[in-house]
Structure 1
Amino acid sequence: MYQKSIAVVVLLGLLLTSCKQEVKDIEQEPIKTFIEPAELREFGFNLNDYIVKRDTIRSGDSFGTILQRNNLAYPKIYQIAESAKDSYDIRKLQIGRPYTMLFAKDSLQTPQCFIYQENNIDYVVIHFADSVVTYKEKKPVTIVTKEASGEINNSLSVTMDAQGLPQALIGEMADIYAWTINFWKLQKGDKFKIIYRQRYIEDSIYAGLEGIDAAYFQHKGEDFYAFKYAIDSLSNRGDFFDEKSKSLKRAFLKAPVNFGRVSSRYNLNRRIAYYGYAVRPHKGTDFAAPIGTEILATANGTVIESTQRGGNGKYVKIQHNDTYSTQYLHMSRQAVKKGQYVKQGDVIGYVGMTGNTSGPHVCYRFWKNGQQVDPFLEKMPSAESVPAHLDAHYREFIKPLRAQLDLIPIEYQNETTIEQGYSITQN
């Protein structure tokens, strides 16, 4: 009996030791947890559900060759192309544009979707996992309002570029004030302020300029305000008006090129050394610019000449109304034909050196009642202002914008870069 008791005690001891070891093993074993990966969404898909491959369209690529390269058989490719063609022309794929392909996470990595990015915002989805579905979408875009300012030390483009402002903003500023300020005669110390909006994709990727809401330019001590306002409430397009409801537009642009410099003014008493300093009147205004620079119609009108003749070289002449006509000489080529109606700002040709010229430029000639005159000395009529029935609304609309402009401090910078562009006149 005594021996049985001892045996029971020993057995219990072994069992307890074994249990303790099992508990210890359980305690030492690390706890394994599964964390669901965060959704990585793009193009409307959770990319974690797919194998993702990205590439760009290369020379020689077509929709068919790309799918073939990714292990799709020709009959399937033909079926996809036929189904997709009514929704999107797959022949429009452009070299250098990015695309994304989504593959199933199976042993064959079966292709399921082709996504082509037309630009930073617009993309096309061709989904062919089961049936073929084709549609166009846009990436979410955020509009951010920003401010900028500066003092001109040598040119508008240098000042704005030194601040890292987008080129499109520089161009739009030039467009806004094209009718009221001669940018080829800016003064050192002129100042500007801008309220503008930029587009961002997914809050971080810059996607271009949305537009300018309001601007201020101080030129020769005179203030020029500009506020964008849509007279037609059904349209998003707006025009720029000043603080007195007057349009900033004029019947004629100040110049037929956006960027360049006046290399020779209208001068009836010009003398040229080559001709023994004889008087050779210059009845045009020359704007020097690189070959290929776009030449713009300075006002609406009908093309009455688009030809090439003698020292004028290739040129275009436009009849605007019974009073005014303009001519644009020495083009490399014309972009319009006789009888064509053009609007202010339309491209009518490109800067060249045809005819009698020693350098690339456009000679701009201006007729009033059949006589050539200096356009810079003409008082041009204004475009229409804010209609009377909208004037009160307009003045209320611009109040906060003007207050915001007035509070923007001028950003001063030391600019040492010299750039071809608008010239600066010293006071």
Structure 2
Amino acid sequence: MPVVPQLFPGVSMPGRKGEAAVREVQRFLRQWDRSGSAGRTRMLAAFVAQNAGSTGPELEQRLAHMASLLLARVHAWMRLHYTCGTCLGVQLRSVGVFLSAPSNHSYLTEFLEVGGVFTILDIINHKQTSDGDKREALHLLQAIANAGRTYKELICESLGLPVIAKCLGKSKVEETQEAAVTLLQSLAHGNPKHKNHIYMELISLLSCTSTKTQQLVLQTLCIVQKTLNSAHSSILEPLFNLLKSLSSEVQYEALQLIRMLKGYEVIPALLKGLVTLLKPKTERIQKNDMLEDPENITVTEEFPAFIQQAAAARAIRMLSQESQEMSDELLRQGVVHHLLCAMGNQNHADAQKQASLALEQFVRVYPVVKEHVRKAMGSTLFNLFVHNAEVLHMKMDEIQVDILLSNKVNISEVLKEPPH
């Protein structure tokens, strides 16, 4: 078992105890220099076990004011051999003892002066690094970022953002995903110089395939967006695409981000996009055809568009309930016509239900909408709609469905007419 220097309370004072501590640390460092990978790994494992959670002054006392010598040795060994991966975990954890220690400024400075940030980023970016080791490396960057704005800027200016984003986008392990997104969120806070760059990296991550990452990125974007004076238009397309998600968590977070964007200049394009999604660009499939011969239709290709259609209707209802101004703009965008069409989509009951509930909101608020919808539906269907919009889709016949799909309602033209 390797010998690790123990705490000597009086090491800062001259005397036998101080001299003994110095000799013990020197013996420890000589043992390190003579040992191979296996021996050093055991020494570091013992060091981490004994010193995790120690403060900077405690490490100095324990290592007889020679802690920096050990940190330098660990970094040099890690820098030279991280591609091997066999000892990387304990190397990272031992560096973490120094960087996460309260009152660690001297260790942090020394680590950065020898290129520590670049080493960590290289480790994260290395294809062969395990997910667990990447997570430990992310924790080290987090410890550096926690030291303040200057250190956040250093990570960003060391090209750290694309490396962290790439790690987040490719990882399939939830703990690593959370570590990466927490780091990005931390880097954005109190870092005005690089906040917009972080924001754009987050937007690019909306296109990743991991459901968990999508959820985490949407949550983080909501937080970061609050601190920005503008929203970038490139956020809309990937946000709309996430409305196709089968994950209720992703759908929820996407709706929260849509709600967040209502105060920004992208809102006209956002509303127009939501209205457009109510009429998916797919060939109409007869419900009976789906039941009789499901092998001959591309349900798998169209189903995400129907999920998206339902989510768009849900978002429209949410926004119209929260703002008269947005309701007016939605009417100008032709939302009533599109909602009626969505109500006729017999291939997806939730899309019908959400569209019906959204239309109900407009009918309640706008008498002119009520009148046009009544004329378009006919009295029988309209009475069913007014009685219970949520279950209307279960009570319609084929003729009524065709009426909805072929409706010509154009409220936007009515709104343009001058008052009489």
With normalisation by structure 1, the TM-score equals 0.22
> Whose RCO is larger (CA < 8 A, sep 6+)?
1
Structure with a larger share of its residues in strand: 1
With normalisation by structure 2, the TM-score equals 0.22
